[in-house]
Structure 1
């Protein structure tokens, strides 16, 4: 009985904190890494605007996503390669960029799923799966960045070679000394984006 009471409190907290609807202002144009079949690179920028705060999440062209910030077992609940691909890409980017806290990134995922008509069960199941198990992906991303790996491909490296595996490609880029540069509306290193908090700022 106590477990159900605690779970109900957690769900209520998630619902009340993530009541902002998020709307995509551009559709994702992604290209598959044929060598692994699970990794994609954005071929154009993706802009996501949070209606409640009017703050925009700008995901630059060249961002590489494998949807792994949403655990594989949670992907059986939602369609990360279908209707829910945009929420998954946004979450992947927030987990890589790491200028918001992990909890803020997870709350934004919850809100984007709500906007994309995920039902009550889908929203809460995925939210709590990333809250409980998402730390592994978050920490792996932090270690990859420290090691010099990139996930935002510079323009001259976005033409993905045929049958190329992303893990091999990123190692090749590391050995060539290719670095990651934010562009367009992306936030500069060290800046905290205004979209992190779902509370209205005005």
Structure 2
């Protein structure tokens, strides 16, 4: 390689390095909102009493979150939505003595009330049978469970598919009736899981039959920072950059 060629190569490399040094860089910072994971639904909820609400002299209760239940016999997954109001009226008066609002019987009664409120044609007997199995599952003594079951079986027809049972109240705003979250469904089951296999694992994932609206989180717009080699040189100077005097 001749001297002239070497000089040309050095000049080309120098020009390339100079151009690279003059390259302007841009960095964009994007703010991604963090949404907390959805906690699983409670499989053993406690109904909340509505202290200033009553219906025909009966105390009213509601749920702060949806209550999923799976009936092993039918495989039906029944989910009572949050804020659904119940007075345990699907159980006739002579059977309500066995319903404890803070006890295991109440959970079965809430499922039964929901099935009665939905009022699927031809499914009242099945709703009563689910009520019995739910009571036994939640630890109600067989003698008491059978008495409550016989009460709904013989006298529950008058409380099936009543329009007035479709009511929702937020326990934090007990003086306001909430609009129904959806139209009255045709069936009380949201899905079928044979023998309820995988049901509890499904609930632990945070699955919701009636998803809540996602909260709107306002994130700041992306910020783009532009830097040039001159900015780097200025930052190194004793009086340059953002150094305080």
Q: Which residue of 2 aligns with 1:182?
A: 182
Q: 127, 131, 139: which one pairs with 1:105? A: 127
TM-score by length of 1: 0.61
Separation (CA, whole Å) in 1 of partners of 2:152 and 2:187: 25
Pick which of 106-115 and 76-85 moved more: 76-85
SS at match of 2:62: strand
SS at match of 1:48: strand
Q: Which residue of 2 aligns with 1:44?
A: 65
Q: Which has the higher helix share?
A: 1
Distance verdict in 2 for CA 1:79–1:25, change over 3 Å: same
Q: Which residue of 2 aligns with 1:5?
A: none
What are the superposed Cα offsets for residues 76-105 of structure 1, whole Å, 9 maximum, x if unpaired? 234343221110111111110123611111
TM-score by length of 2: 0.51
What are the superposed Cα offsets for residues 140-180 of structure 1, whole Å, 9 maximum, x if unpaired? x1x437xxxx3234xxx55324xx5xxxx65xx7xxxx4x2
Q: Which residue of 1 aligns with 2:104?
A: 83
Distance verdict in 2 for CA 1:121–1:195, change over 3 Å: farther
Q: How far apart are residue 129 of structure 1 and its match?
A: 0.8
Separation (CA, whole Å) in 2 of partners of 1:90 and 1:192: 9
SS at match of 1:39: strand
Aligned length: 152
SS at match of 1:84: helix
Bigger Cα Rg: 2
Q: How far apart are residue 114 of structure 1 and its match?
A: 1.3
Separation (CA, whole Å) in 2 of partners of 1:62 and 1:117: 25
Q: Which residue of 2 aligns with 1:128?
A: 150
Q: Which runs of 5+ in 1 are unaligned?
A: 1-23
Separation (CA, whole Å) in 2 of partners of 1:151 and 1:191: 17
* In the alignment, structure 1 residue 193 sits paired with structure 2 residue 214: no
8 Å contact kept, 2:72–2:195 = no
* In the alignment, structure 1 residue 152 sits paired with structure 2 residue 168: yes
Distance verdict in 2 for CA 1:193–1:82, change over 3 Å: closer
Separation (CA, whole Å) in 1 of partners of 2:114 and 2:88: 9
- The CA RMSD measured in Å over matched residues stands at 3.4
Q: Which has the higher strand share?
A: 2
Separation (CA, whole Å) in 1 of partners of 2:164 and 2:83: 17
Q: Which runs of 5+ in 2 are unaligned?
A: 1-40, 197-245
